[in-house]
Structures are given as structure tokens and as C-alpha cells.
């Protein structure tokens, strides 16, 4: 089984002022990220504005990411989940051909009431049966309105190609139940604010937005926990809570992109209908970046 233990940022898609993807800025950002204590990147995820990308854009972004990551030895996890089973399978195969080592598959969500246990199990098992690379389930009920039950995750974990899940609900109790039933299932926290709590119940790492700008302290949380230094792990985890809440809950993609600009990466504008971060938000992000030691 592929071991995905580690720390991964779901990287934003860089756009220029006209709303076109700035592939040169993406390459620049990647060259910075591969020097940081990260195990790879995830693209696209929620913070990548995945819902705003065309199919061709998604594929071209994978090409750019794969080229840089291949040279660095770090891992590309491709976000391949879309509304239909057939297209998710097709995108997963394309991502594998381009060099992705695993696929992160968001649940379908337009027909929310229809996303029952049986529907989700059939959908993900079909993807896994056809996929040349391992599958991670992506549970992000804040955006999809679909929240996987422990029963569904435990059932899917029995498929040899479904090796784990990114859970952005921060539901530690649910993940504890899943891991108690399937200890080898690779759970990754989808929230930096829940990283230490998830590690404590058997999570193997995190796919978290904050890793775009704070890889070093997040890695310190993980390393301290693994070394048994819980006091340090807690201290660093506490220090990141406010900035994480700001960029994931309060200000979203626009806040993350502004924070990237402030730490020396290219964030740039979001794609419409999202708007750039307003002045009050910029002031608050600046304050929190300083308080957490991420800028002077």
C-alpha cells in the first residue's frame, strides 16, 4: 500500500488580473514549496478554486505540477472528483498518466439528498476498480453538504485501492470510530486546527490550507508529536489556531491568497465571482501573520 503519511498543501490556482491562470506564477510557487518541509502538494482542492476550473485547465495545471514535483521527488496528489462517476474515472486515469501518485476524490454534491450510503459506496468502488492509482476520499461537508458516515467510510476502507481519506469536518470522534474499525486506513486531517487532535487518534498527517504558508511550524507539530514531545506540539498547535481560522473560515480563498502574497509567494486575485480580500481583512491577516511569527 502506498504510504501517504505527511504534510500537503492544497495549493491555490494563481490567476492574473484578467482571470486567466498564471502558469508562470504556479511554477514559481512550486519551486518554493518543494524546498519546504512538505511531502508533496494536492491540486486541485477546495482552496484551488477547483469548482472554477475547466477540464482543460485542470489537466494543464497537473502537467505543470508534475514536472516540478518529479524533479524534486515529492508527491502529486490530484484532485479528480467531479459530479459523475465516469468523468471522475477518466480524470483519475489522466492524472495518473501525468504522474499523480494518488487521487483525492470529492463526493458528488449537486443531488445532495441522493448521496446515500449505497450511492456513495457504489460511486467510490467504481472509481477504485478502474483507477490505476490509490484513491483518497475527500469529506468536506462545509462545501458539499455531504458528510460521510462512519459506516460508509468503514465500508469503503475495505477496498484495496481506497487507502484513506482527507476529512475536513474536524470530527475527531468520527475518525476515531473509523480507525478503530480499520487501523490501516490513512486518515489525513483537512484542517490545520485539528492536526494534533487527529494525530492523537492515528491520523497520518494533514492536507491543510495553512501548509501553503506555514509548512515549518506544522511540520514541527507533527515531528514533536512523533517524538513524544506533546508540550511543544501543543504550544505550536495553539500558536497557529487564529491564523488558521482566519484563512479557512473567516476569509477563505481570498484570505489565503492575500496571506501568500504577504509571505513572498504569489497569491494574486481569486477568480470571479470571488473578490479580493477587503482592506479590513488585509489588516486582520497582517496582524495574525505577525502574531504567529510568519512575517516580521
Query: Which residues are known catalytic residues?
Result: 166
Name the residue with cell 515529492: 74
CA atoms within 13 Å, Cβ hemisphere of 52: 17
Residue 185 has which C-alpha cell?
Answer: 486506513
Burial annotation 45-59 (CB, 10 A radius, 16+ → b, else e) = bbbbbbebbeeeebb
Q: Dihedral sign, CA of 92, 95, 100, 105?
A: negative
Closest CA to 61 of 174, 222, 69, 207: 69
Cβ neighbours of residue 171 closer than 8 Å, sequence gap 6 or more: none
Burial bucket for residue 60 (CB in 10 Å: 0-12, 13-18, 19+): middle
Contact 107, 81 (CB under 8 A): yes
Name the residue with cell 490505476: 132
Report the 10 Å Cβ neighbour count for 273.
6
Closest CA to 3 of 35, 39, 30, 37: 39
Q: Where are the beta strands (DSSP E) in the chain?
A: 6-8, 40-43, 75-79, 102-106, 135-139, 162-167, 186-189, 205-207
Give the torsion through C-alpha atoms of 93, 133, 85, 22, to 10 deg: -60
Amino acid at each position: 500500500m502506498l504510504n501517504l503519511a505527511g504534510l500537503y498543501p492544497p495549493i491555490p490556482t494563481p490567476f492574473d488580473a484578467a482571470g486567466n491562470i498564471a502558469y508562470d506564477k504556479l511554477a514559481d510557487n512550486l519551486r518554493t514549496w518543494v524546498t519546504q518541509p512538505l511531502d508533496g502538494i494536492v491540486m486541485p482542492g477546495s482552496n484551488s478554486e477547483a469548482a472554477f476550473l475547466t477540464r482543460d485547465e485542470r489537466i494543464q495545471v497537473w502537467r505543470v505540477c508534475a514536472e516540478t514535483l518529479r524533479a524534486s521527488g515529492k508527491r502529486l496528489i490530484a484532485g479528480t472528483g467531479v459530479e459523475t462517476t465516469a468523468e471522475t474515472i477518466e480524470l483519475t486515469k489522466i492524472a495518473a498518466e501525468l504522474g499523480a501518485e494518488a487521487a483525492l476524490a470529492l463526493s458528488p454534491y449537486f443531488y445532495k439528498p441522493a448521496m446515500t450510503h449505497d450511492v456513495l459506496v457504489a460511486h467510490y468502488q467504481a472509481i477504485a476498480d478502474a483507477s490505476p492509482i490509490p484513491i483518497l476520499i475527500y469529506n468536506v461537508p462545509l462545501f458539499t453538504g455531504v458528510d460521510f458516515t462512519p459506516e460508509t467510510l468503514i465500508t469503503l476502507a475495505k477496498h484495496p485501492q481506497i487507502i484513506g481519506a482527507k476529512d475536513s469536518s474536524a470530527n475527531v470522534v468520527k475518525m476515531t470510530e473509523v480507525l478503530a474499525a480499520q487501523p490501516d486506513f490513512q486518515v489525513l486531517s483537512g484542517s490545520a486546527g485539528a492536526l494534533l487532535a487527529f494525530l492523537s487518534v492515528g491520523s497520518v498527517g494533514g492536507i491543510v490550507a495553512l501548509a501553503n504558508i506555514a509548512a515549518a511550524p506544522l511540520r514541527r507539530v507533527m515531528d514533536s508529536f512523533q517524538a513524544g514531545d506533546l508540550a511543544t506540539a501543543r504550544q505550536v498547535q495553539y500558536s497557529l489556531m487564529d491564523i488558521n481560522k482566519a484563512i479557512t473560515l473567516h476569509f477563505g480563498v481570498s484570505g489565503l491568497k492575500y496571506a501568500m502574497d504577504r509571505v513572498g509567494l504569489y497569491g494574486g486575485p481569486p477568480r470571479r465571482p470571488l473578490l479580493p480580500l477587503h482592506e479590513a481583512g488585509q489588516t486582520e491577516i497582517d496582524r495574525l501573520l505577525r502574531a504567529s511569527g510568519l512575517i516580521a
